């Protein structure tokens, strides 16, 4: 009976680790930039405004080929984003105090504001800032040219 009880406790512990992985990832001051970007991209296909508000800093700025956006503009873009399968690669992360800068390549078929972007790998730059509670997405550069 004791072994059964200990096995049950071990299973609960392992399950709690999987369930808390993303929330712990967002709150840990020293984080792996690749893991944080991958968690962000997992949420891109959601059309839930609250999901994006949890990620974005109120001071967020982005630049895409069509225009720059603030937090509200990026949320509107993300709500209408239609991603196909994607591949994230070539990560480089630099953390300086509470700022984390991550560059990487993305190969994805996506549509932004009705414009189709090529699916070839393109560079991205994502910046996060830790606010003593969570990592917030504060800046992003999408260097994928739109098809003309």
The reported pTM is 0.75
> What is the model's pLDDT at position 143?
83
- Please give the span between the terminal C-alpha atoms of the chain, in angstroms, as a whole number: 69
Could you read off the pLDDT of 38-76 as tens digits, one per residue? 999 999 888 889 999 999 999 999 998 889 999 999 999
Check residues 104 and 16 and name the one with the higher pLDDT. 104
- Tell me how far apart the 2 most distant CA atoms of the chain are, in Å: 69
pLDDT digits (tens, 9 = 90+) for 75-114: 999 998 878 889 999 999 999 999 999 999 999 877 766 7
CATH number of 2-142: 3.10.450.50
Write down the pLDDT at residue 109.
76
Closest alpha carbon to 76 in 90, 62, 89:
62
Q: Which of 123, 127, 121, 125 is nearest to 139 (CA)?
A: 127
66: its two tokens: 């069509």
Domain boundaries defined on the chain: 2-142
Tokens, residue 45: 């296909």
Residue 31 has pLDDT above 80, yes or no: no
Give the span between the Cα atoms of 31 and 21, in whole angstroms.
Answer: 12
What is the distance of C-alpha 79 from the center of its chain?
A: 14
Give the tokens for residue 103: 């560059």
Q: Which residue has the higher pLDDT, 110 or 129?
A: 129
């Amino acid at each position: 009976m004791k072994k059964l009880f200990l096995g049950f406790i071990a299973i609960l512990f392992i399950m709690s680790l999987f369930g808390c992985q993303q929330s712990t990832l967002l709150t840990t001051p020293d984080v792996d930039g690749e893991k944080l970007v991958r968690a962000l991209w997992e949420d891109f296909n959601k059309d839930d405004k609250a999901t994006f508000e949890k990620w974005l800093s109120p001071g967020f700025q982005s630049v895409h080929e069509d225009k720059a956006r603030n937090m509200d503009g990026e949320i509107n873009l993300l709500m209408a984003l239609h991603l196909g399968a994607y591949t994230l690669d070539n990560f480089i992360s630099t953390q300086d105090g509470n700022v984390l800068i991550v560059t990487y390549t993305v190969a994805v078929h996506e549509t932004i504001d009705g414009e189709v972007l090529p699916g070839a790998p393109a560079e991205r730059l994502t910046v996060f800032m830790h606010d003593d509670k969570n990592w917030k997405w504060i800046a992003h550069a999408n260097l994928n040219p739109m098809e003309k």
